[in-house]
């Protein structure tokens, strides 16, 4: 069955081909009419694919991006239309280029102004010493800019306290790159980067889910959760039951996302009492939360790794707005908030292309979490590229998660983790989980893979609260199985990890 990503690009390329042929045969009246009709039919199919299978308001932005690319190539075709050879070359080149261009993030210019205003203001994140503050203020005065403290951790942290947000008025926002260059050229900052816009990119699954499985729980939708078999939930639940007396604590997992439908029938008792009024207008955060800790054996919905209700508690941290967009500063502040609120594990199913390989602001936030014995899990990204080009996937100290399919192969949309120090893979195709408005839905994405690892981290911490991030990664990497293709893609095996730990792996090291 073709998934959304494949269907989206097939209809997009078909539209592009018919557009090119329309230009090539423009002098032939009959073919001109036929190819013009085929172009608009293909465009309508692409709109339908985006509307039916992408989630929430993001569907409009995905189609807008496709339309922007088609418009760009149309201008190129029009420019060379009088030279048939050049036109043929342009059409062929557009098809080849459309594949890498198709995976680019949604341009901020496509986001309506009222939605953009819902994001945190501030174009730049800079790192300075306190004695440099006056120099920065003087330099940004001609731009009518403001500078404010970026982060406010509860625990004193010299690294995080050096970061500031530079906010320019909307009419000066275009000057952000020039200002950053000035700040760097005059050496009045230690480091600077853009306050990147972040969006989520999961896709609704159109694949039929087999219903012939029995995983030993009474949740009616468990038979549709193929990941329970690949991750050996049956053995995992058995280990939890047989070793219940060894559980040391209830572990808090912070889901940094679009919020959570805290009143969902399969999540309500798993969500921290202080967050019972949280909503999720998009559905993405609710989906991730269900993978982490949907209530199991309650004769409702789906199952999760959390066999007992007192194993994992979910803490929703809203870092993305009602349209699934946010900024780097919002995410970092969310990470700090999660740590300060006592979360043991941070699950981030989000990210974007890095504009700076150093990523010092993210690194400071991850170090703040790791130093307090918190495990940070992030998704690798859905662009079929290299996760090392995406943040926070490429930040030292995070566990970066790629996605696999039912046959234990790397998902075609998943970013690769070859160059990631702490890389692992987990199921991310056709994953059924909780969704907004007390419903259930199957989605695709590394967004779905990361919560499986976050849930595993929570279970391990329930038995061994003091386990450090590097120790946890060593454990899951040691017990992982290889994927069934040539990709570097060690696949998570939570039951094997917990069994090895219970057998004394920690004390034998």
List active site positions.
Answer: 257, 284, 447
The phi and psi torsions of 281 (rounded to 5 degrees) equal: -70, -15
Angle, CA 420 vertex, CA 201 and CA 344 arms, to 5°:
75
71 by Cβ neighbours in 10 Å (0-12 / 13-18 / 19+) ranks as exposed
Give the strand pairing for 197-199 and 325-327: antiparallel
One DSSP character per residue, 416-477 reads B-TT-TTEEEEE-SSEEEEETTTEEEEEESHHHHHHHHHHHHHHHHHH-TT--HHHHHHHHH
**Cβ burial, residue 500 (10 Å; 0-12/13-18/19+):** middle
Distance from the Cα of residue 237 to its chain's centroid: 28
Q: With H, G, I as helix, E, B as strand and everything else as coil, classify residue 25.
A: coil
Signed CA dihedral, 378, 383, 386, 388: sign only: negative
Long-range residue pairs from 270-276, CB within 8 A, at least 24 positions apart, any chain: 270/294, 270/295, 270/306, 270/309, 270/312, 270/313, 270/314, 271/313, 271/314, 271/315, 271/316, 272/313, 272/314, 272/315, 275/314, 275/315, 275/316
| Token pair belonging to 435 | 């969704």
What residues form DSSP beta bridges with 253? 314, 345
> 310, 250 in Cβ contact below 8 A?
yes
Token pair recorded at residue 356: 């700076």
Closest CA to 320 of 223, 141, 199: 199
Please report where in the chains the tokens 């790791």 appear, as a residue: 370
């Amino acid at each position: 069955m073709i998934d959304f990503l494949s269907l989206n690009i097939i209809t997009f390329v078909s539209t592009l081909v018919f557009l090119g042929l329309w230009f090539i045969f423009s002098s032939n009246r009959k073919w001109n009419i036929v190819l013009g009709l085929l172009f608009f039919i293909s465009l309508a199919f692409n709109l339908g694919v985006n509307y039916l299978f992408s989630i929430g308001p993001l569907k409009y932005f995905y189609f807008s991006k496709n339309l922007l690319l088609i418009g760009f190539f149309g201008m190129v075709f029009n420019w060379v239309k009088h030279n048939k050879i050049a036109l043929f070359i342009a059409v062929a080149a557009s098809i080849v280029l459309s594949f890498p261009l198709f995976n680019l993030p949604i341009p901020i210019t496509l986001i309506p102004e009222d939605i953009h205003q819902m994001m945190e203001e501030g174009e730049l994140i800079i790192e300075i010493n306190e004695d440099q503050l006056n120099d920065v203020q003087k330099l940004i005065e001609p731009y009518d800019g403001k500078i404010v403290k970026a982060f406010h951790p509860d625990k004193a942290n010299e690294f995080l306290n050096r970061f500031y947000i530079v906010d320019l008025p909307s009419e000066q926002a275009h000057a952000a790159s020039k200002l950053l260059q000035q700040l760097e050229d005059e050496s009045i900052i230690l480091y600077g980067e853009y306050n990147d816009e972040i969006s989520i990119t999961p896709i609704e699954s159109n694949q039929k889910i087999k219903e012939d499985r029995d995983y030993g729980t009474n949740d009616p939708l468990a038979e549709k959760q193929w990941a329970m078999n690949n991750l050996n939930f049956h053995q995992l639940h058995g280990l939890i039951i047989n070793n219940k007396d060894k559980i040391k604590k209830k572990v808090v997992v912070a889901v940094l996302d679009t919020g959570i439908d805290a009143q969902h029938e399969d999540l309500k008792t798993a969500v921290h009492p202080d967050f019972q009024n949280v909503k999720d207008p998009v559905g993405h955060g609710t989906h991730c939360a269900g993978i982490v800790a949907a209530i199991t054996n309650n004769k409702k919905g789906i199952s999760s790794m959390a066999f007992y209700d007192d194993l994992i508690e979910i803490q929703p941290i809203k870092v993305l707005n009602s349209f699934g967009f946010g900024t780097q500063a919002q995410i970092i502040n969310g990470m700090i908030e999660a740590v300060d609120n006592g979360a043991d594990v941070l699950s981030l199913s989000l990210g974007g292309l890095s504009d700076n390989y150093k990523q010092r602001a993210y690194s400071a936030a991850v170090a703040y979490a790791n130093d307090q014995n918190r495990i940070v899990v992030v998704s690798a990204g859905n662009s079929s590229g290299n996760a090392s080009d995406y943040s926070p996937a490429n930040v030292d100290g995070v566990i970066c998660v790629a996605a696999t399919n039912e046959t234990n192969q790397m998902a075609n949309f998943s970013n690769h983790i070859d160059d990631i120090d702490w890389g692992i893979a987990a199921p991310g195709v056709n994953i059924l989980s909780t969704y907004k408005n007390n419903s259930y839905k199957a989605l695709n994405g590394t967004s779905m893979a990361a919560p499986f690892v976050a849930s595993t981290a929570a279970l391990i911490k329930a038995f061994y609260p003091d386990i450090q991030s590097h120790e946890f990664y060593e454990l899951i990497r040691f017990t992982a199985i290889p994927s069934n293709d040539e990709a570097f893609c060690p696949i998570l095996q939570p039951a094997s990890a917990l069994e090895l730990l219970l057998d004394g792996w920690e004390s034998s090291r």
